[in-house]
Structure 1
Amino acid sequence: MTRVLAAGDHFVLTELLVEALAREVPDGLEISELTLGWPTEPFGRVAEVDEASGSEDQMIEALQGVEVCVTQMAPLTEKVLDASPDLRLFCISRGGPVNANIAAATEHGVAVTYAPGRNATATAEQSVGMLIATTRRIPQTHADLSGGTWRGDYYRYDAVGPELENSTVGVIGYGAIGSRVARILAGFGANVLAHDPYLAPEAFAAGVEQVELDELLSRSRFVTLHARVTPDNKKMIGAEQIALMQPGSVLVNCARGALLDYDAVCDALDSGHLFGAAFDVFAEEPIPVGSRLLTTPNLVMTPHLAGGSKETAQRAATIVASDVGRYLRGEEIANCANPEVLRGRG
């Protein structure tokens, strides 16, 4: 019997992890369960890892005698690894293994997997929804009506926004999310430009024009960010890049807060250079009290919820369970952050 810890939370439920494991490996598993506090309790930094839920001591106790752990938010720190000698596989059901110390895991011979693309559909749909909500002022007009005010003045020509059909939309980052956004927008009749320096031309769908970043910004009425953060692209969109955008443009970020200079966006909204902006991610989360984001006009915001769908949670559990099955069968693991740990195995 292989001892497995299913450490779920209130999004990727422990029961979803257990059910996915049972489908993938019907026999031979002894599964213990742990439910962590996120999102009822905020995630945060635990020792040397980020965006984690639960404590080191909690994980150390739960991992005794455990060979495999499947989780979304549990911290895998050097202290946890030192105290968990039986652990060999740590599967994180999110797009990147930010809550794991990969270097320490490698030193301890623990393979770490993750689940890229788990929330691609949900995030793509949210991005397009926020784009439309911004151009049609849906949150603002709903708030006015809820407060008993009928704002007919929003129908003024200078207050209404542009349509997607026949507009040019720039998609920055053409991976699992960006490519879906492009496909959805094409269905609206938009002309889609895309920028992704890591992809070859043949990776872009027919009808999507691959361009350099400055050209995308200058030609697009709508710009939506879907790039991964790297050391080279932090604050890739700042005052200089926003100045290249057409007056009256709309900017959406449902990727990562580090990609954007939020003060520059607030300046552009205050001046009227941008028609609107929509954000699901921020440089600091939660947004601090007194932030300009809370008072800048024509801004639509959600609290890092773009990936939140039932299908995302179900898919996340299925992805990590599949890697557990591959591990136990001696097959190559699909998404391993430190594959060198598994070389020569079995």
Structure 2
Amino acid sequence: MKILTVTDLFIKKEVVETALREKLCHIENLQIENFSVDFPITPLQYSDGEVTEFVGSEEDIIERISDVDHLVVHTSPITKRVLEHAKQLKSISVTRGGAINVNIEAATKMNLPVFNTPGRNSSAVAEFTVGLFIAETRNIARSHETTRQGKWIDDYYMYDKTEYELSSKVIGLMGYGNIGEKVCKLLSGFGCKVLVYDPYISQVESNAELVALDTLLTEADILSLHMRVTPETTGMINMEFMKKMKPSAILVNTARGPLVNYSDLYEALTSGIIARAALDTFESEPIAEEDPLLKLDNVTLTNHIAGASRNAVKISAEIMAEDLNAFLEGREVKNLVNKDYDK
């Protein structure tokens, strides 16, 4: 049996192969071949085509896939054209939560199951999100930058430049999936009030309260986004939305850039509609050098690294290997994307 792993500088070849060999140790003549792309040095490309987020070329996979039984891939584009060259392929494992670099419709028509690894980095993103709450409210990034420049800024010890601690804040969470729930659990140790808006759930942690959207917007001191990108949520965070927030509010986005209208956000931040923001994702990535957000002092910016942890890579590889093993043994696969493929 031959497995092709397509890895990169985040999802490391060694971690993936170790997980596969541990789970598939019962398989004789297991052959694992690898090809690596240079993500994240080459950033994700975005497209309106059959795959929407990827790194690399179809040709890279086509020239290697003809005799492959099982494909393990992170960001490379698995298009209909690629699949047409996969004469022996029996499954596709995607080592990320969203299999948006795979043409699911084409795979389904070819009777190829697609597995993903949801929740692989939920703890990493949750920790990072709370870190941004603290960094933005306690001037950590701003103080670092000025101190690094040799400037000892006393302003950050002045009352008017300080903030209330998280224990005095109302935290609003929009979306209560894996990440939103873990943020909520982490916040239990800070003693803050947590409000949750998610129209698809009916129960939250004991330290939180499920509320209507308008209540969330008018009461939250920090509003943190944890929704999926859908036609309904794309551009949802616009000027009309932000005008309902407190003028002292902080917007935090560690989810996806398309949720926010960034032109409206810039206007809101410069006109006092909201006070500040902490952003890990953007409208287009990498962020343009001339983006006006880069010139603002009331924003903490990071370059889409909330999900980057070694734990996330290990979890991803283990979930992938477990599901592939279940498939090979004829057991139910936990994370099957195209449940309607013809078994």
Matching of residue 133 in structure 1 with residue 135 in structure 2: yes
- Paired residues of 1:70 and 1:321 also in contact (CA < 8 A): no
Query: What residue is the counterpart of 2:22 in the other structure?
Result: 23
Secondary structure of the corresponding residue to residue 62 of structure 1: coil
Query: What residue is the counterpart of 1:40 in the other structure?
Result: 41
- Paired residues of 2:51 and 2:79 also in contact (CA < 8 A): yes
Query: What residue is the counterpart of 1:330 in the other structure?
Result: 330
State the Cα distance separating 1:45 from its structure 2 match. 4.6
Structure 1 stretches of at least 4 aligned residues deviating more than 3 Å after TM superposition: 45-48
Secondary structure of the corresponding residue to residue 307 of structure 1: coil
Distance in 2 (CA, whole Å) between partners of 1:56 and 1:233 is 31
Query: What residue is the counterpart of 2:108 in the other structure?
Result: 106
Query: What residue is the counterpart of 1:241 in the other structure?
Result: 241
Which stretches in structure 2 are left out of the alignment for 5+ residues?
none
Secondary structure of the corresponding residue to residue 339 of structure 1: coil
- Paired residues of 1:251 and 1:276 also in contact (CA < 8 A): yes
- Paired residues of 1:161 and 1:275 also in contact (CA < 8 A): no
| Letter paired with 1:192 | V
Number of aligned residue pairs: give it.
Answer: 340
Secondary structure of the corresponding residue to residue 193 of structure 1: strand
Q: 2:120 is matched with which residue: 103, 118, 121? A: 118
Matching of residue 251 in structure 1 with residue 251 in structure 2: yes
Residues 1-48 of structure 1: CA deviation (Å, up to 9, x unaligned):
x21111111111111111101111103222111112111222325873
TM-score (norm 2): 0.95
Matching of residue 278 in structure 1 with residue 304 in structure 2: no
- Paired residues of 2:257 and 2:284 also in contact (CA < 8 A): yes
TM-score (norm 1): 0.95
Secondary structure of the corresponding residue to residue 49 of structure 1: coil
Distance in 2 (CA, whole Å) between partners of 1:146 and 1:45 is 35
Residues 55-134 of structure 1 mapped to structure 2, 5 A cutoff? 55-134=57-136
Secondary structure of the corresponding residue to residue 248 of structure 1: coil
% of aligned pairs identical? 38
CA RMSD, aligned part only?
1.4
Query: What residue is the counterpart of 1:305 in the other structure?
Result: 305
Residues 112-143 of structure 1: CA deviation (Å, up to 9, x unaligned):
11111000000001111011111111111111
- Paired residues of 1:130 and 1:252 also in contact (CA < 8 A): yes
State the Cα distance separating 1:314 from its structure 2 match. 0.7
Residues 193-218 of structure 1: CA deviation (Å, up to 9, x unaligned):
0011111x23x111310011111010
Secondary structure of the corresponding residue to residue 159 of structure 2: coil
Secondary structure of the corresponding residue to residue 317 of structure 2: helix
- Paired residues of 1:263 and 1:292 also in contact (CA < 8 A): no
| Letter paired with 1:43 | L
Which stretches in structure 1 are left out of the alignment for 5+ residues?
none
Residues 62-103 of structure 1: CA deviation (Å, up to 9, x unaligned):
212111111211211011011112112111011100100111
Distance 1:335 1:66, change over 3 A: same
Distance in 2 (CA, whole Å) between partners of 1:85 and 1:212 is 51
Distance in 2 (CA, whole Å) between partners of 1:191 and 1:155 is 26
- Paired residues of 1:182 and 1:208 also in contact (CA < 8 A): yes
Distance in 2 (CA, whole Å) between partners of 1:136 and 1:261 is 26
